[in-house]
């Protein structure tokens, strides 16, 4: 293994990916800001006061962490799936395939690009939320680590989607039919304690629930799930997706004929 080559190649991919999403900021950075601002206005200001408190916090303060994490999830996933598919579609992925860049570096580079966009969007959405809520910080460490791990996990998910995708529709199916429902049902807008016992149990199958709860703990100091368990589940998914992606890349799945 030539580590100097790996380091330069990694930096090159991250630079290329970052340049790409900054170049198309109207598509990559602006829409999440507008969408979450609308959530803050409608759910926070118009409907929120009628709901009252949730777990001892104003409703808008309760939903802000979930909305931030929702933007992080969506953007980490979309950045990697669309960038990888676009590279496949334009055959630009061949630039990497013919080079001696190791596959794990390709994977890490794409994932880092997705994480960079997700965190930038997260910071922007958090800044916007300050206009609507009184955001406090219970634990910087939990907040920062959970946003990072969540971005990594969904960037890996986006990479997997990009490998499988054969047409543009294929990169919108998972976000529309799986990610969005799981995020909405993962406790962005409510505490799962409000659900009947059966649906509380069903909710525990949803991995996003653990991330949103841990992230909310970072801000508000409240959670429906144990923190250690949330970190464990997230780490488990990251490891599984990383090795699955690497195995598929090594086999040339979706990119080699």
Partner 1 sequence: MTVALSITDLQKTYPNGLVALRGIDLQVEEGDFFALLGKNGAGKSTAIGIISSLVNKSGGKVRVFDADIDRDFARAKSYLGVVPQEFNFSIFETPMQIVCNQAGYYGIGRKLAEERAGHYLRQLGLWEKREQMAQTLSGGMKRRLMIARALMHEPRLLILDEPTAGVDIEIRRSMWNYLTAINQSGTTIILTTHYLEEAESLCRNIAIIDRGRLVENTGMRELLGKLQTDAYVLDLAEPLRELPRGLPSSWELTGPNVLEADVPATGSLDALFEKLAGHNIKVRSMRNKTNRLEQLFLDMVEEEGA
The residues binding partner 1 (CB under 8 A) are 2, 4-6, 8-9, 11-13, 15-16, 19-20, 23, 86-87, 90-92, 94-102, 252, 256-257
Nearer to partner 1, 53 or 95 (CB): 95
CB 220 within 8 A of CB 143: no
**In the complex, least distance from residue 13 CB atom to partner 1, rounded to whole angstroms:** 8
- Shorter beta-carbon distance to partner 1: residue 99 or 136: 99
Give the separation between CA 175 and CA 191, rounded to whole angstroms. 23
Smallest gap from Cβ 86 to partner 1, in A, equals 8
Nearer to partner 1, 58 or 88 (CB): 88
Identity of the residue, 11 or 130, whose beta carbon is nearer to partner 1 in the bound complex: 11
Would you say 86 or 203 has its CB closer to partner 1?
A: 86
Q: How far is the CB of 42 from partner 1 (least distance, A)?
A: 35
Q: What's the Rg (C-alpha) of the chain?
A: 19
Smallest separation, CB 219 to partner 1 (Å):
37
CB of residue 146 to partner 1, shortest distance in Å: 32
For residue 253, the minimal CB distance to partner 1 (Å) is 10
Nearer to partner 1, 23 or 45 (CB): 23
* C-alpha separations of 100 from 1, 19, 244 in Å: 10, 23, 21
């Amino acid at each position: 293994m030539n580590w100097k080559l790996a380091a330069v190649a990694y930096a090159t991919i991250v630079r290329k990916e970052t340049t790409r999403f900054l170049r198309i900021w109207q598509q990559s950075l602006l829409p999440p800001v507008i969408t979450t601002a609308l959530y803050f206005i409608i759910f926070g200001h118009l409907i929120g006061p009628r709901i009252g408190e949730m777990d001892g916090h104003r409703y808008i303060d309760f939903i802000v962490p979930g909305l931030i994490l929702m933007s992080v999830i969506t953007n980490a996933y979309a950045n990697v799936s669309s960038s990888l598919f676009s590279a496949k579609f334009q055959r630009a992925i061949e630039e990497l395939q013919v080079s001696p860049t190791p596959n794990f570096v390709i994977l890490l580079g794409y994932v880092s690009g997705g994480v960079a966009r997700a965190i930038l969007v997260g910071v922007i959405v958090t800044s916007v939320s300050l206009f609507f809520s009184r955001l406090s910080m219970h634990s910087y460490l939990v907040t920062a680590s959970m946003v990072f791990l969540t971005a990594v996990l969904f960037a890996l998910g986006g990479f997997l989607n990009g490998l499988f995708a054969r047409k543009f529709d294929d990169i919108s199916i998972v976000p529309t039919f799986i990610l969005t429902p799981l995020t909405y049902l993962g406790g962005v807008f409510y505490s799962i304690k409000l659900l009947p016992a059966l649906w509380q149990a069903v909710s525990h199958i949803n991995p996003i629930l653990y991330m949103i709860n841990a992230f909310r703990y970072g801000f508000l100091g409240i959670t429906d799930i144990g923190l250690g368990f949330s970190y464990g589940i997230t780490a488990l998914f990251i490891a599984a997706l990383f090795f699955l992606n690497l195995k598929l890349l090594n086999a040339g799945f979706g990119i080699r004929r």
